[in-house]
Structure 1
Amino acid sequence: MANLIVTGGAGFIGANFVHYWRRASPQDSIVVLDLLTYAGNRANLDGLDGVTLIEGDICDTPLVSSLMADHAIDTIVHFAAESHVDRSIAGPDAFVTTNVVGTHSLLKAAKRAWLDEGGGKPHRFHHVSTDEVYGSLAPEEPAFKETTPYAPNSPYSASKAGSDHLVRAYHHTYGLETTTSNCSNNYGPFQFPEKLIPLFTLNALNGRPLPIYGDGLNIRDWLHVEDHCRGVEACLRKGRPGETYNIGGGQELPNMRVIEEICQAVDEAFVTDPTLAKRFPDAPPAQGRSSLELKTFVTDRKGHDRRYAIDETKARTELGYAPLRDFPQGFSETLAWYLAREDWWGPLMALHKRT
């Protein structure tokens, strides 16, 4: 039996991980530590037993230390992060505070509990990071490996790079048993509607413009969030302390292709389920038109990385990890979830308009 703290466990990826871990290891206890900012939502954890939600800040080291002592924590899975690139460009301070200072706070508490006072008791600190720390790839360049030099290009990716280096340093300097995973672009249930896939899906349903940066040909590797959770589980169970593992989806697609897939899937859903026209009367397919009509090109994002791609050879060979979903399957499941959970995303769309 393990006792986990999952930071950011009421957010998108963290909440999916908590649901996944409860199914995979129902005997374990989980403490979710989440500040419940705009991207954190108590409702993401509805229906889960054996999960304690603590509203608090990872920068509050005494709080983290008390939780570790009170719950005999032996595993930290660190998802908590500011993660939206656009927000980091407009306001980088919060990203440095949460992603760098917050990670250091957790590392200090972990070192004290497990090494200074715990006598080296068995433990694991798993840090969840991003492929964006590696920078941007040219079309002909090979995919990112764990040995690819860091070259972050946004305040978000720079702050994540800083946190990665701190985790590495705490392992090599103090002996803290850490692992780090650098993942590609996630999508799936519970994703706040500011990222491409939920935003464009919900905009299409509501007849709103689909704002495409630049020429729409920026390339990303798309990873269904449950496949990501499986990758994190593999790191926890099989990863070697001090090592980094790239977790990808094996679905390298230009944004325009993703947008076209979203539009096609939404249009087909209206054909399959005629009741959708009544629920979403402003959607183009409710009026016999294509969702592609909503495409709108906007000024490109500052410092927009052109291409990301993940080489997951190390995770596959050492951990036995491989994604189970291609993009069409993963997005079909995601669209079905959003169509069934208007009660979840409706209030968030209203919040997104105000932030």
Structure 2
Amino acid sequence: MKILVTGGAGFIGSAVVRLAVSRGHEVVNLDALTYAANPANVAPVADSPLYRFEHADIRDRAALDRIFAEHAPDAVMHLAAESHVDRSIDGPAAFMETNVTGTFHLLEAARSYWLAKGRPDTFRFHHVSTDEVFGSLGETGLFTEETAYDPRSPYSASKAASDHLVRAWGETYGLPVVLSNCSNNYGPYHFPEKLIPVVILNALHGQPIPVYGAGRNVRDWLYVEDHADALLTVLQDGALGRSYNIGGNNERANIDLVRDLCAILDRLRPDAAPHGDLITFVADRPGHDLRYAIDASRIRDELGWQPSVTLQEGLERTVRWYLENEDWWRPLLSRDGVGTRLGIGS
């Protein structure tokens, strides 16, 4: 299969690219190389004859038409997105432009290509989204595929809009679409503005480890390589028009997660004082959702997929990767916004 992956130089997209190539798929990686993208993320497969890179923006319809015509993909995996909630609070326009307008142009380019090919039944457009579109849970309950949308941040609102666009193109035009909504990802190659890499890198530098509010916000953590495996499963075996929730079955309050990471670092890279002493509680961000938790029974029961990496195993792997790959993360520390507090609001 030849797959066009948008956002393939990003965190989740690059995991998909690496896994797809390792399984013998041809991959065309379309990425605008914005601040969170990194060509080093796909270095392990960059020299493969199965891999191609296209430097383009999904808002550029002419570039999209050229790429579809030149590469003739069998499927699209749409992961290109602005994805950091804090940045969406400070600058929502970029999220509307990329996540909404960009998805529209990609859908139209894919539809034009699909029609020109004679509407092949084998074509797939897989839209990759987030559980944040469902809003916030209380202390109990799980998000299912039928949960009503209730986005609370500019980021989640933009992703909810893109989900609706994809469903509309499937219903109105018959475009063969599948969708997935995932819980929080973590693992190697995670851009150092998200919680887990921030904890690891601040601890290594002896800097305060910021925790929003009281740290009681709960997330379901999914190891990124498990997610990539699930995404390829949905692409290949998912029912048309169907959506699949993908979770790690690993709920953890932020403060407990941070303490777990500090304990791993105490063991692997001990310092004079416990790394947990660096934990600093800071003002919460506006509209901070209390809890996300995924019911992933549909993908398990219909497609036979379930996560293989436990949270403790995944955190250990992640910490070791950052300890062993300073040459990857060190240059990223100077990128815009890294290491500064974002999303304070007004």
- TM-score between the two structures when normalised by the length of structure 1: 0.93
Secondary structure (helix, strand or coil) at the match of 2:290 reads coil
Whole-Å separation in 1 of the counterparts to 2:227 and 2:243? 14
Q: Match for residue 331 of structure 2?
A: 347
Q: Amino acid of the residue matched to residue 29 of structure 1?
A: E
Q: Distance in 1 between matches of 2:227 and 2:65?
A: 28
Taking the aligned partners of 2:78 and 2:55, their CA distance within structure 1 comes to 15
Q: Is 1:336 aligned to residue 336 of structure 2?
A: no
Aligned: 1:196 with 2:195:
yes
Secondary structure at the aligned position of 1:9 is classed as coil
Q: What is aligned with 1:308?
A: 292
Tell me which of 319, 324, 333 is aligned to 2:303.
319
CA contact (8 A) 2:61 2:105 kept: yes
Encode CA deviations 1:95-141: one digit per residue, 9 max, x unaligned. 000000011111000110002x121122000010000000000102x
In the alignment, the residues of structure 2 paired with residue 268 and residue 47 of structure 1 have an alpha-carbon distance, to the nearest angstrom, of: 29
Alignment of 1:270-285 (within 5 A): 270=269, 285=270
**Partners in 1 of 2:339 and 2:242 — Cα distance?**
41
Partner Cα separation in structure 2 for residue 238 and residue 53 of structure 1 = 26
Aligned counterpart, 2:154: 155
Q: Which amino acid aligns with 2:20?
A: W
Q: Which structure 2 residues correspond to residues 127-146 of structure 1 after superposition, within 5 A?
A: 127-140=127-140, 142-146=141-145
Alpha-carbon distance, 1:349 to partner: 1.7
Q: 5 Å matches for 1:96-245?
A: 96-115=96-115, 117-121=116-120, 122-140=122-140, 142-245=141-244
Task: Give the distance between the partners of 2:301 and 2:118, measured in 1 at CA.
Answer: 33
- What amino acid does structure 1 have at the position aligned with 2:86? D
User: Secondary structure at the residue paired with 2:44?
Assistant: coil
Show the counterpart of 2:60: 60
* d(CA) in 2 for partners of 1:264, 1:210: 14
Q: Give the ranges of 4+ consecutive aligned residues of structure 1 lying more than 3 Å apart after TM superposition.
A: none
Contact 2:18–2:44 (CA under 8 A) maintained in structure 1: no
Look up the match of 1:277: none
CA-atom RMSD in angstroms: 1.0
Aligned length: 335
- Matches of 1:328 and 1:149 in 2, distance apart? 31
SS at match of 1:322: coil
- Return the alpha-carbon distance in structure 1 between the equivalents of residues 142 and 81 of structure 2: 24
Partner of 1:43: 40
What is the rounded CA distance, in whole Å, between the counterparts of 2:106 and 2:74 in structure 1?
Answer: 13
CA distance in 1, matches of 2:320, 2:211: 24
Cα drift, residue 353 of structure 1: 4.0
Shift of 1:350: 2.6
Unaligned runs of 5+ in 1: 271-284
Task: Tell me the residue number matched to 1:31.
Answer: 28
CA distance in 1, matches of 2:304, 2:131: 20
Shift of 1:47: 3.0
Q: What's the CA shift string for 1:241-264, capped at 9, x where partnerless? A: 101000000001100110010000
Aligned-partner SS, 1:180: strand
- Residue aligning to 1:276: none
Work out the CA distance in 2 between the residues paired with 1:75 and 1:343: 34
Partner of residue 5, structure 1 = 4
Deviation track 1:324-349 (CA, whole Å, cap 9, x = no partner) reads 01110011111111111000001112
TM-score (norm 2): 0.95
Amino acid at match of 2:43: D
Deviation at 1:4, TM superposition (A): 1.2
- Which deviations, in whole Å up to 9, do the C-alpha atoms of 1:205-229 show, x marking residues without a partner? 1111111100100000000001101
Q: What amino acid maps onto 1:70 in structure 2?
A: E
CA distance in 2, matches of 1:214, 1:335: 24
Give the letter aligned to residue 298 of structure 2.
K
Report if the CA contact (8 A) 2:219-2:254 is conserved: yes
